[in-house]
Amino acid sequence: GAAAEAAVNRALASQLADGDVDFLERRSLRIRVIDLGCDWLVTKTGPRLRFSAGGDGAEAIFAGDARSLLLLAARREDPDTLFFQRRLVIEGDTELGLQVKNLIDSVDFDELPAPLTRALGFGAAFAAALL
C-alpha cells in the first residue's frame, strides 16, 4: 500500500496542487486489482491521497486485472475502452466514478517523473506482450 500511495501521489502531484483531486476530500474510492488480490481504499486527506486496506464502505469501486490497470496507468488503453470490454469495472457513485475517470484522462504521461514513466512503460509493454 505504501509504495502504491507514494507512486500515485507523485504521479498526481500537479493535479493535487491544482485542486483537481479535491472531489475525493471526505469521499472514498476502492481500487481492486482482482488477480493480485490487492485492495485499497483511497481518500484525500489534506494535500495527499491516502491508501488503506480495502473493505466495505467505498462510494465507488474501480476494479480490474493487473494487466488492464497497468495499461490504463501507462496510457496504452483508455478507460472507456476497458470499461466497454468489461476489463475495468466501475461500480457505485456514478458521479464520483466519472470524476475519477476524468482525472485519469487528465494525467499528462510526459510530465510524470522519468523513473515512473520508464517503469510504467516497461510494465505496460510486458503486460501487452502477455496477450
Contact 5, 50 (CB under 8 A): yes
Q: What is the pLDDT of residues 68-104, one digit of tens each?
A: 888 887 778 888 898 899 999 989 998 998 898 888 8
Domain residues for 36? 2-129
CATH number at residue 98: 3.30.1050.10
Instruction: Return the pLDDT at 105.
Output: 78
Give the predicted TM-score (pTM) of the model.
0.80
Instruction: Return the pLDDT at 76.
Output: 82
Instruction: Return the pLDDT at 74.
Output: 79
DSSP 38-62: EEEEEEEETTEEEEEE--TT-SEEE
Q: What is the pLDDT of residues 8-42, one digit of tens each?
A: 888 888 899 999 999 999 999 999 989 988 899 99
How many domains, the chain?
1
DSSP state of 57: T
